[in-house]
């Protein structure tokens, strides 16, 4: 759907389209490739006790330690990026506040 701003749709008198957007929702994934899948598995198991929603949130959230990238973006960048994300997950699991 081209328009995804609910307010703009409602203000334009297109309430049915706004409802369709809300019903369709937003699809977020915890991984988009092999590297981010490895990182998402680590996060799911070591931080979120297998909780998919929490893992998706973590993997899609921009983070200052990642130069405002998401863990998905950094992990998919390179093997070094994946290693950095996995190390970050380990640090969080060990109680480091980041």
pLDDT digit string (tens) for 64-90?
999 989 999 999 999 999 999 999 999
Give a yes or no: residue 98 inside a domain. Answer: no
Q: What is the pTM of this model?
A: 0.79
The pLDDT value recorded for residue 1 is: 42
Q: Please report where in the chains the tokens 């929490």 appear, as a residue.
A: 54
- My answer on whether 54 and 86 are in the same domain is yes
- My answer on whether 40 and 20 are in the same domain is no
Mean pLDDT to the nearest integer, 15-43: 93
Q: Which residue has the higher pLDDT, 5 or 19?
A: 19
CA dihedral of residues 7, 10, 13, 18 (deg, nearest 10): 120
Note the residue count of the chain.
Answer: 98
Q: Please report where in the chains the tokens 């490895």 appear, as a residue.
A: 38
CA dist., res. 72 & res. 39, Å (int) = 8
Please give the residue range of the domain that contains residue 49: 34-93
Average pLDDT, the chain: 92
């Amino acid at each position: 759907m081209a328009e995804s701003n609910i307010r703009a749709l409602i203000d334009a008198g297109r309430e049915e389209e706004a409802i369709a957007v809300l019903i369709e929702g937003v699809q977020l994934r915890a991984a988009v490739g092999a590297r981010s899948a490895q990182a998402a598995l680590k996060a799911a198991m070591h931080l979120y006790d297998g909780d998919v929603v929490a893992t998706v949130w973590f993997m899609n959230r921009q983070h200052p330690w990642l130069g405002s990238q998401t863990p998905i973006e950094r992990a998919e960048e390179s093997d070094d990026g994946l290693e950095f994300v996995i190390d970050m997950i380990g640090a969080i699991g060990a109680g480091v506040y980041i």
